[in-house]
Structure 1
Amino acid sequence: MNKSFFTIIVLLSFFLSCQSEKKVDDKEKYLRWVGDIEPNDQLDKTEFIVCNGEDNIFQYFNLGEGPVYKGEKSKILNTFKSKYRPIPDKNQNGLIRIRFIINCEGKAGRFRILQSDYDYQEKEFEKEIVSQLLDITKGIENWEVLKRDNVPVDYYMYLIIKITDGQLAEILP
């Protein structure tokens, strides 16, 4: 009995450990890099295009630059401070990350939002807060064109906005 029990356990573990291969419709199963933003016709403006193809979008830090805007970060801060209308609420605390692509012409598109509390747990902010921040970000037109080997490139960018009691507390990076 002991031997047959052992045989059953071995066979059972063998069958359970086998994985079947799943077919994927001629598409890659995963994105190229964590954080890549795929085009989405329902979310994105169709006139926004990347110049160098989907596989050639860089992270801004891959180009040896920090975040770059014409007018420096102070212009970005002043834009948010002058346009954001606080929604005072003691429950509106955390981080709103807006990630997007700057194309080779310095135009921004493919905006995506991630919201979390200060412990990085998923959280949903009031829609009025999020929509204001997204609209302000979309309105920024002073993104630098970055180059690699003197060729303008497309690159990812992000802003992290810290919200405390519905007030704008900080903008990173």
Structure 2
Amino acid sequence: MIKAVYFFTLFSSVLISCQVEKNSNKYPNTVGDIEFDGKPDDIDFKKCGAGKDAPFSFQYYQGTKGFDYKGEKIAIVEKLKKENIYSKKKIYGYITVRFLVNCEGKTGLFRLKAMNSDLKDEVLDEEVENKLLKFTKSLDGWQPKDIKGFKVDYYQYLTYKIENGKVSEVLP
């Protein structure tokens, strides 16, 4: 009887530890991490430290104050006006493009999310979404972020507010 209890306890411990290990692998290192995906992501884009599998990246608001783009946000807004991106449809909502800026100021791991004005996930206008994604990818003035003497990767986002088919504001 004692042997049966011992083996049951041992077997249960092994089974539970296997389950914990299995579940822990499905979560990113940090909440909000963008996992590399070979289909949309550039294989040559590298995170600092350990390539595409670097363990940690900061958020845009950590480490420094202000907008880390050459010319600040106004430079992005001016460049966007020149592109004249709009929809023929009278759409209202938000298109957010989130991405990673590495320690060299290069960008990658772009992800897009569109929402209607009620903040519900919705494809507003696929053509406009693709143009805004392409526009965001073309921005080449992102500054490397320095935290305590170390150049680090950081996540950044741009949200385009769409009113009557036109970009009315760029956030943050």
* TM-score, length basis structure 1: 0.81
**Could you list the per-position Cα deviations for residues 57-115 of structure 1 after superposition, in whole angstroms to 9, with x for gaps in the alignment?**
1012121323310111110001111113312312x210011000000000010000111
The CA distance in 1 between the partners of 2:159 and 2:64, in whole Å, is: 20
Counterpart check, 1:64 vs 2:64: yes
Identity value in percent:
35
- More divergent stretch after superposition (42-51 vs 79-88): 79-88
Alignment of 1:15-164 (within 5 A): 22=19, 25=22, 28-53=25-50, 54-90=54-90, 92-164=91-163
Q: What is the one-letter code of the residue matched to 1:86?
A: Y
Task: Give 1:33 shift.
Answer: 2.9
Structure 1 stretch 134-143 or stretch 53-62: which is displaced more? 53-62
Tell me, in whole angstroms, the C-alpha distance in 2 between the residues paired with 1:133 and 1:36. 22
SS of the residue corresponding to residue 62 of structure 2 reads: helix
- Cα distance between partner residues in 2 of 1:24 and 1:135: 39
Aligned residue pairs: how many? 153
Contiguous gaps of at least 5 residues in structure 2:
1-14
Consecutive unaligned residues in structure 1, runs of 5 or more: 1-19
User: Whole-Å Cα distance in 1 between the matches of residues 66 and 121 of structure 2?
Assistant: 27
One-letter code of the match for 2:86?
A: P
Q: Which structure has the larger Rg?
A: 1
SS of residue paired to 1:109: strand
Do the aligned partners of residues 40 and 79 (structure 1) sit closer, same or farther apart at CA in structure 2, a change above 3 Å counting? same
TM-score by length of 2: 0.82
Amino acid at match of 2:47: V
Q: What secondary structure is seen at the aligned counterpart in 2 of 1:62?
A: coil
